[in-house]
């Protein structure tokens, strides 16, 4: 997919529905509209992908924390 056809959404500001559509607000006054039946069909896959990516994110965050703790221990150990 080219960058021209790609939209990155850093955070969701609001989500609501009406008339069989789901509206996801993001950014400055931007909105994504998805037909609810289509979203319902992909909901199991959406949940699965989000859980998998959250696990990856947690693993990365855990590595950062472990690295910071090691640095702190090494620093404190050298000052003793």
Q: What is the pTM of this model?
A: 0.67
Write the CA distances from 17 to 22, 31, 33, 36, 67, integer angstroms. 4, 12, 9, 8, 43
Compute mean pLDDT per 10 residues along the chain, 80 residues long, and list them.
82 96 95 95 93 91 91 80
Q: Write down the pLDDT at residue 1.
A: 61
Q: Phi/psi at 17 (nearest 5 deg)?
A: -135, 155
Q: Write down the pLDDT at residue 76.
A: 85
Q: Write down the pLDDT at residue 8.
A: 92
- Counting runs of H as helices and runs of E as strands, what totals does the chain give? 1, 3
Q: Write down the pLDDT at residue 47.
A: 92
Q: Domain spans of the chain?
A: 3-78
């Amino acid at each position: 997919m080219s960058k021209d056809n790609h939209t990155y959404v850093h955070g969701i500001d609001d989500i609501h529905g009406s008339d069989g559509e789901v509206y996801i607000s993001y950014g400055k006054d931007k909105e994504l509209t998805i037909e609810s039946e289509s979203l319902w069909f992909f909901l199991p896959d959406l949940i699965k992908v989000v859980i998998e990516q959250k696990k990856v994110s947690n693993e990365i965050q855990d590595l950062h924390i472990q690295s910071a703790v090691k640095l702190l221990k090494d620093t404190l150990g050298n000052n003793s």
